[in-house]
Amino acid sequence: MKLPPLTIGRFTAPVPLVQGGMSIRVSTSALAVPVAECGGIGTIGGSGVPVEELQADIRRAKSLTKGVIAVNIMFAMKNFYNLVMGSIEAGVDMIVTGAGFSRDIFKIGQDTNTPIVSIVSSPSFARLAEKLGAAAIVVEAKEAGGHLGTDVALRDLFPEIRKVVKKVPLIAAGGITNGFDMAEMMDKYGADGVQIATRFVLTKECSVDDRFKQAMLQAAPKDVTLIRSPVGLPGRALSTPFVQRMAAKVEMKAKECRWQCLKKCDHFYCISDRLQKACAGDLEDGLFFTGENVWKMKEILTVREVFEQFVSQAESVYKEPAPLPVR
């Protein structure tokens, strides 16, 4: 059966598939545009890049597609407010925010008619986000890549949040690797759409260095691990030499704080430097965020092939979901 579209605020994506935002420069317009062209929501990772660069990338994306373009900005960023306002000024369709919780963002959304999408990992924050005016909510579970807000698996966490979110679309994220997972999250668990990220790193269009993609392709389950992040949250990443040195508590503090990127930073190491090194393919010193199920992915596809695969698999099994209990 055909998958339903995903409507967030005044925007409708014909395919209920959101490409998760990935900072720093992992998901740029190079990835977000083909995703939007295929009918999903393409998300530019907005954290850790200068506002002018982000604005130029948003304008580029908007000039290349009529599809839906979002930007993901972590609340933990020192220049969160400037990144949000700069993105809206550049014409982004919606703002997605996680890694901390901003109450003020909803007022900005209302004042500028910009849908705000909150990433949450607990029923209490989901309830709060809906009450404050979120246009949609992403439930991000422990299988996700990058910073994590929970150690609970998607199939345990999602139902708890489904119970409390009453009005706005609810999107499932973390460890979804194919269209069968997508259909399951939608018809069995009542998700209005899914967000995936790791699968999109493994596309021809993702602009990271090929060594990043090859390291992901070669990863076995034991090569994916939890790391300590200066943001103050755990993160999920490939177990590279840098991560192993971190686990052994080898001193890795940067000599100076070049980026001044985080509101609060424990300066254990410089996360901006390490993520940039990953993008450039530095297997020794980079920090490679990845989802837990990366080992299930065996090939680099085009964005269009990912969409074709997800949609055909999902629609081969998707059934209209049973109505949700009156909430």
Ligand X SMILES: Cc1cc2nc3c(=O)[nH]c(=O)nc-3n(C[C@H](O)[C@H](O)[C@H](O)COP(=O)(O)O)c2cc1C
**């609340």: which residue's tokens?**
75
Q: How far is the CB of 13 from ligand X (least distance, A)?
A: 16
CA distance 277 to 273: 6
Torsion of CA 199, 205, 211, 214, to 10 degrees: 40
Q: How far is the CB of 279 from ligand X (least distance, A)?
A: 9
Neighbours of 317 (CB within 10 A): 13
Instruction: By CB under 6 A, name the binding residues for ligand X.
Output: 20-23, 26, 45, 47, 72, 74, 98-99, 119, 140, 143-146, 173-176, 195-199, 201, 289-291, 293
**Which lies closer to ligand X via its Cβ, residue 1 or residue 72?**
72
> Residue 297 is encoded by which pair of tokens?
């992915």
Phi/psi zone of residue 120: left (φ > 0), alpha (ψ -120 to 50 degrees), beta? beta
Give the closest residue to 262 by CA, choosing from 227, 232, 237, 228: 232
- The bridge status of strand 136-140 relative to strand 94-98 is unpaired
Question: Do the beta carbons of residue 48 and residue 24 sit within 8 Å?
Answer: yes
**Which lies closer to ligand X via its Cβ, residue 220 or residue 322?**
220
Q: How far is the CB of 142 from ligand X (least distance, A)?
A: 10
Q: How far is the CB of 60 from ligand X (least distance, A)?
A: 19
CA distance 274 to 139: 27
Q: How far is the CB of 189 from ligand X (least distance, A)?
A: 15
**Which lies closer to ligand X via its Cβ, residue 132 or residue 294?**
294
**């074709």: which residue's tokens?**
308
CA distance 311 to 216: 23
Q: How far is the CB of 238 from ligand X (least distance, A)?
A: 10
**Which lies closer to ligand X via its Cβ, residue 73 or residue 322?**
73
**Which lies closer to ligand X via its Cβ, residue 66 or residue 109?**
109
**Which lies closer to ligand X via its Cβ, residue 99 or residue 135?**
99
Q: How far is the CB of 212 from ligand X (least distance, A)?
A: 8
**Which lies closer to ligand X via its Cβ, residue 55 or residue 121?**
121
Q: Where are the alpha helices (DSSP H) in the chain?
A: 29-37, 51-64, 80-89, 104-112, 123-132, 154-162, 179-183, 198-201, 210-218, 241-247, 271-279, 303-317
DSSP 294: G
Q: How far is the CB of 252 from ligand X (least distance, A)?
A: 20
CA distance 64 to 127: 36
**Which lies closer to ligand X via its Cβ, residue 96 or residue 168?**
96
Give the closest residue to 170 by CA, choosing from 6, 298, 314, 301: 6
